Chain A
Amino acid sequence: MLFNSFTFLIFFPAVVTMYFVIPHRFRWAWLLLASCYFYMAFIPVYLLILLFTIAIDYAAGILIENAEGRRRRAWLIMSIIANVGVLAVFKYFNFLSANANAIAEVFHWPYEFPILGIILPIGLSFHTFQAMSYTIEVYRGRQAAERHLGIYALYVMFFPQLVAGPIERPQNLLHQFYERHVVEYERVTDGLRKMAMGLFMKVVIADRLARYVNVVYNDPTSFQGLSLVVATIFFAFQIYCDFAGYSLVAIGSAEVMGFRLMKNFDRPYLSRSISEFWSRWHISLSSWFRDYVYIPLGGNRATTQRWYFNLFITFLLSGLWHGANWTFVIWGALNGFYLIFSLVTKEAREAVNRAIGLASRPSLHTAVSIAITFALVCVAWVFFRAATLTDALHVFSAALTRPTLHQIVPDAVRAEGISKFEVFYGFLLIVGLMTFETISTRVNIVKQFRMQPAWVRWPVYYATCMAIWLLGISTEAKAFIYFQF
């Protein structure tokens, strides 16, 4: 079920109303039932995969807690193999097969690996990673094994964050299912406000920008120059508004029921460096890789070479997490390279900044840093969005052709019903979003707004809802990009 669908418009109020009406002892069951229904709206039979990993990890948690020494480790490894195994079959098998077949063909080996005709279960990487964080935390002794199977299942399946995160940690979420929640005016309105903001980002901004992006990136070889540049910039904001919008709806809908989920985005395009960008973008995944991959590999407490290696491997895996395609692997590797390059050149860059006087002008320095970081992120997004490496390479080569204004709204874009006004409107929305985010670094807009009287707040809620309805794009609810991961 999509957050931006009519079904959710009916589903959510019904679930929330019932949640607060029924006695506390039945609430976990109600939420679990609702979560099953939510998940089964995609491909019902895939619920079995989810139940399989839930059963394995539930048992593993208890076995790890009860065991000692090497047996603890053995149970953890079994749980990780089960989770990674599901991912390997559904997400990576075809990728590995296709590559193995390509290698076999080069060397004329008479092998052919099968390609499975299966659809990737929605949100598989999210709930698998959340499940793995549970067994790892139990292994590390930072989380007691959950004995209540229903509560554990709910930890994995909690519908607001089931299919696209935030990827929660057991220490933050599990205990909340035991808490007794009551209707609190401030908390409910805070949650609804976040949901409205998230939906605005998704249907008004992301889906509108997507129209241009899809036309260009579905057939990039037909475009040149500014078309490709505009499409890449639009994609940067499309994916941000799409995913941050989803996260806000997830966090908001959980908050309405009394649950606190972790923040997933923090104005990433105002980052002054790539490392800062990664501390603000998809925070729950970045911190997952930091805690369960980067630090166990040795983190920065190692030789310089090893540190760089740890960084690179972490980003390479992050790329692979996003999709079984070389474009994602290169996207991850490129981000790893950016980080290593920024570490290697830190002193040289500071010297250049001092030499050109940028260091003594902090505002200008910040603006330049933000612009450079954004440009680097956009270069990486090309690999993320392009369907093939050939397409991505075409984008880079053709984007540098002599720019003309006609390239911004070429005939192929017009043929899809996208006018000059629409492109202008897209830029206007981006400027509006960035202005809002820039102001919010200095002023706590939400806090200020919350202090306003009801006759100011509720008309704003009305205007926001009407804007989502009337300015939003699409008739069919469009799936969120991150569902595919």
Chain B
Amino acid sequence: MTAATRKLIVRIVLLTLAIIVSGLLIGQYEANERNDNYLAAILEKDRLIRSTPSPKIILVGGSNLAFGIDSKKMEDSLGLKVVNMGLYAKLGLRYMLAQVRPYIEKGDVVVVVPEYDQFYGDFANGDNTLNTALLYAPADRIPDFIRSYSIVDVVLRPRVEQARRSFLKAAASAVGREHQFFPPDTNPVYNRNSFNQHGDVVAHLGKKGMDPDSIFVKALPPLKDFNRGTLSDLEAIAGDARSAGAHSYFMFPSYIDRSYNINIPAIDSLRRKIAGGASIPIVGTPADFVYPKQYFFDTRYHLTGEGRDLRTLKMIEVLRAVGRRDGWLR
């Protein structure tokens, strides 16, 4: 090895070390600041699914479930414990499924209720919030997530992202704009403490939501953007449920009528894709869970208290019918 090569290697190693150490130091900036973050509710949800005895109903999805289910009412009507794992759509369907897969036991009923957006592009793989969620994951859950992702995704990427976020937060703070770009976790609805013991968000009940006409609606992406990987994920959870002696079902999310009306063909195509591509039974129809604007709190998926009641009753009706058909409910 020549002297120049040695010099080059030493400099590259030093540069790499400097980058890693800087990243670790920067990552400390907000390491202890996220206790009340809405996503920190992952810890309670995790405890809930571990501690709830079977047979139980496990609701898997994003915030359409968190805001739109009265688990207590469902529990009383169906006579099974209900665990509402719904939290945030942008964590991605893969994460949501990975979170529950190891805890499906004999007699359980897994109801997967993803938002429509999950099925397009990379949405189901989660956005940046997934990294925060993975940072919250208890140490003994890391192997579960590595099975669904990879060690790089679960261990390295979240830390790299944490450093990035910390840096931007420190920079915003330095120019006095931290609260503008990184609002504190004081939002009374989007907060770790907004959930009840079943995992339902209850902080929005009785509160005035957004002007219903201002709720943002949009066309779903074209079918060419359909992510076939989501079918494999659904197939995997259906397979897990079968092997555990549990039941699994796919159900459509609550959706505002304005958004539904502009997406009817897209949703129908989606329904056919899921029905043809995964063995998880679809129960109910998309239209079953479409409600007028006055039942929505702040997004096209988030129901108000009244909307939540209607949706819960409809879900109970649908689940009761399939439960009797499939023999898990008398």
Q: Which residues of B contact A (CB under 8 A)?
A: 2, 4-5, 7-8, 11-12, 15, 18-19, 22-23, 26, 122, 125-128, 130-131, 152, 156-157, 160-161, 163-164, 167-168, 181, 216, 218-219, 221-222, 224
Contacts and interface: CB of A to CB of B under 8 A. Distances in A.
Given A183-B8, A470-B164, A412 B157 contact: no
Contacts of A279: none
Contacts of A412: 216, 218
B164 A411 contact: no
Query: DSSP majority for the B interface?
Result: helix
Interface in A354-398: 387
Contacts of B5: 183, 185
Contact of B125 (A192, A219, A472, A476): A476
Contact of B218 (A222, A387, A421, A470): A222
A462 interface: yes
Interface of A: 6-7, 183-185, 188-189, 192, 218-219, 221-222, 387, 411-412, 415, 419, 421, 454, 458, 461-462, 465-466, 469-470, 472, 474-476
A295 B232 CA distance: 49
B127 A219 contact: no
A469 B4 contact: no
Given A454-B11, A458-B11, A465 B19 contact: yes
Query: What are the 3 A-B residue pairs with the smallest beta carbon separation, nearest first?
Result: A470-B167, A185-B4, A6-B152
Contacts of B216: 411-412, 415
Contacts of B219: 219, 221-222
A18 to B, nearest CB: 15
B18 A470 contact: no
B157 A475 contact: yes
A222 B168 CA distance: 31
A7 B221 CA distance: 29
A73 to B, nearest CB: 40
A301 to B, nearest CB: 43
A465 B15 contact: yes
A219 B137 CA distance: 36
Contacts of A419: 181
18 contacts: A6-B156, A183-B2, A183-B8, A184-B4, A192-B12, A387-B222, A412-B216, A415-B216, A461-B15, A462-B18, A462-B19, A466-B19, A470-B168, A475-B128, A475-B130, A475-B157, A476-B126, A476-B127
A259 to B, nearest CB: 18
B259 to A, nearest CB: 12
B178 to A, nearest CB: 13
A419 B177 CA distance: 13
Nearest to A215: B218
Given A183-B8, A185-B8, A219-B219, 20 more contacts: A6-B156, A7-B152, A183-B4, A184-B4, A192-B12, A221-B219, A222-B218, A387-B222, A415-B216, A419-B181, A421-B181, A454-B11, A458-B15, A462-B15, A465-B15, A469-B19, A470-B168, A474-B128, A475-B126, A475-B128
A157 B8 CA distance: 29
B157 A218 contact: no
A184 B4 CA distance: 8
A260 to B, nearest CB: 19
A472 B11 contact: no
A7 B156 CA distance: 11
A412 B218 CA distance: 8
B20 to A, nearest CB: 10
Contacts of A221: 219
Given A458-B11, A475-B161, A218 B18 contact: no
A415 B11 CA distance: 45
B157 A6 contact: yes
A192 B16 CA distance: 13
A248 to B, nearest CB: 19
A458 B167 CA distance: 21
Nearest to B7: A185
Q: Of A192, A387, A475, which is in contact with the most chain B CB atoms at under 10 Å from its CB?
A: A475
Nearest to B18: A462
A439 to B, nearest CB: 26
B168 to A, nearest CB: 7
Contacts of B161: 475
A475 B7 contact: no
B164 A469 contact: yes
Nearest to B161: A475
Most buried by B among A419, A461, A472: A461
Contact of B26 (A192, A461, A470): A470
B91 to A, nearest CB: 12
Contacts of B2: 183
Contact of B164 (A188, A192, A387, A472): A472
Contacts of A387: 222, 224
Contacts of A184: 4
Nearest to A184: B4
A454 B11 CA distance: 10
B117 to A, nearest CB: 11
Nearest to B170: A470
A387 to B, nearest CB: 6
Contacts of A476: 122, 125-127
Contacts of A185: 4-5, 7-8
